[in-house]
Amino acid sequence: MKYLFFLTMTLFAAPGFAGNHPTHEDVARRLLSAGMKDGEAYSLLKELTTEAPHRLSGSKGAEIAVQVTARQMTQRGFANVHTESVVVPRWVRGLVERAQVMTSGDAPPLDLSVCALGRSIGTAKGGIIAGVVEVHSFEELKALGEKAKGKIIFYNRPMDPELPNTFAAYVGAVDQRSRGAIEAAKAGGVAAIVRSMTLALDDVPHTGAMGYQDSVPEVPAAAISTIGANTVSHILAEDPESQVTLELSCETMPDVESANVVGELRGSERPNEIIVVGGHLDAWDKGSGAHDDGSGCVQAIEVLNLLKKAGITPKRTIRAVMFMNEENGTRGARAYPVAPERKGEVHIAAIESDRGGFAPRGISVQGDSTVVERVKTWQPLFELLNAGRIEEGYGGVDIQPLASQGVPAFGLDPENHRYFDYHHSDNDTIDKVNPRELQMGAIVEALLCYLISEDGL
């Protein structure tokens, strides 16, 4: 093995392919080799999640995360490493998060594991104490009429476990979190409590974005764990007069300046044609955002790193972008295409990894049929990486502003059974990330960048 390794290095290690131009398959194998032998995705993630575990937009942690990723790119010799200013919202959780359920008898109150939803207003000191109604849809809520008035609205429709794709299950349930407070207020409710968006049955609450609507009163909104949701449901079934106390100290502060972080491998032939590969740098202030989306960020950095290590000078510019503020505003995503730095640039593709650092199964392609067919011709190359599932689908949140300008968008498509077990919660920590799986995702993205850079779309 040692000798074989030496031989391999001798034959192939000349940077820039001084000899014959390599075939696409050569490049796929070289990226695999560079990635699996000396891959840095996991150590990059360890740095990020250790130095900036909490990096919600506008926080000190987000500021540190900007510095960490800029440093990681500079240290690896990327070109044009810089930040691009983005003004972001600043929501802070505060110190108090408390929920208790009290039956109408004299049993002591039961503490619930709870967390405020992102953007929620806080409660008055001492909290809200009110009766509770459990609903499973906005229709059910509306049908309650007067019965919802003055109540805490408890949304308890689970993610559908029967859907093999957990993202579909998430999409089918997340309206309760995102619009729950609006619909609660419209129905005369005083707060919204939502069953956490996860398929796991545990006592960990999952946060996430919610919103308000002009002309509808703002009421506080929080998530309770799935075990807590089941408990409240049982209690309500036995004792509908039970009450809940909800106290939250979260608040929205004035906007602050933050940044997207950018680094590049400059294209040798068409430097103004840009291929973006990115993730979002902000994360909820729960866990350390290891899967969501520390993984996508470090994979983007590792893409450039791998291409450099493999001695590849791309024809077009391959650019890693750490987008700020995906979770509660997408300001970074929207700022990027209109930043002054974009002048004279043409974007030919945008790739995002924002579905966790799990084993990649393929790529979802958001583009016209020509693009989809084009990428499918590369399918055997991705099959070498065990990631040959090329399907029409969604790119990613941060690259939608580019996609809406007609830029073909690509989403790394990993295994997803476990994603929502961790998502937006204290469970989302680096011990849930497997180094090989994370690294393989970076290799898949690197290959896609190379192929687009080399052949266009």
| Paired residues of 277 in beta bridges | 320, 351
CA distance 114 to 244: 12
Note whether 223 and 195 are within 8 A (CB). Answer: yes
Element (H, E) at 256: strand 251-265
C-alpha count within 13 angstroms, C-beta hemisphere, residue 324: 33
Indicate the residue among 273 and 421 with the shorter CB distance to its own copies.
Answer: 421
Question: Could you say which of 40, 134, 326, 445 is catalytic?
Answer: 326
Amino acid at 196: S
CA distance 42 to 301: 11
Indicate the residue among 352 and 413 with the shorter CB distance to its own copies.
Answer: 413
| Paired residues of 393 in beta bridges | none
Indicate the residue among 51 and 415 with the shorter CB distance to its own copies.
Answer: 415
> Smallest distance from the beta carbon of 55 to its own copies, in angstroms?
27
> Smallest distance from the beta carbon of 301 to its own copies, in angstroms?
20
User: What is the distance, to the nearest Å, from the Cα of residue 275 to the centroid of all Cα atoms in its chain?
Assistant: 20
| Paired residues of 123 in beta bridges | none
Indicate the residue among 22 and 188 with the shorter CB distance to its own copies.
Answer: 22
> Smallest distance from the beta carbon of 126 to its own copies, in angstroms?
35
From 318, 291, 293, 322, select the one nearest 303 (Cα to Cα).
Answer: 318
326 an active-site residue?
Answer: yes
Cβ neighbours of residue 337 under 8 Å, at least 6 residues apart?
A: 347, 401, 402, 405
CA distance 304 to 306: 5
For residue 218, give the DSSP letter: -
> Smallest distance from the beta carbon of 31 to its own copies, in angstroms?
10
Q: How far is CA 259 from CA 66, 217, 278, in A?
A: 7, 32, 14
CA distance 78 to 215: 48
Binding site for its own copies (CB under 8 A): 1-2, 32-33, 36-37, 136-137, 157-158, 160-165, 199, 359, 361, 384-386, 415, 417-418, 421, 434, 436-437, 440
| Paired residues of 112 in beta bridges | 99
For residue 290, give the DSSP letter: I
> Smallest distance from the beta carbon of 269 to its own copies, in angstroms?
30
Indicate the residue among 80 and 386 with the shorter CB distance to its own copies.
Answer: 386
> Smallest distance from the beta carbon of 189 to its own copies, in angstroms?
20
Indicate the residue among 76 and 389 with the shorter CB distance to its own copies.
Answer: 389
Indicate the residue among 158 and 278 with the shorter CB distance to its own copies.
Answer: 158
Grouping H, G, I as helix, E, B as strand and the rest as coil, residue 152 is strand
For residue 297, give the DSSP letter: H
> Smallest distance from the beta carbon of 350 to its own copies, in angstroms?
25
For residue 381, give the DSSP letter: H
Show which residues are catalytic. 326
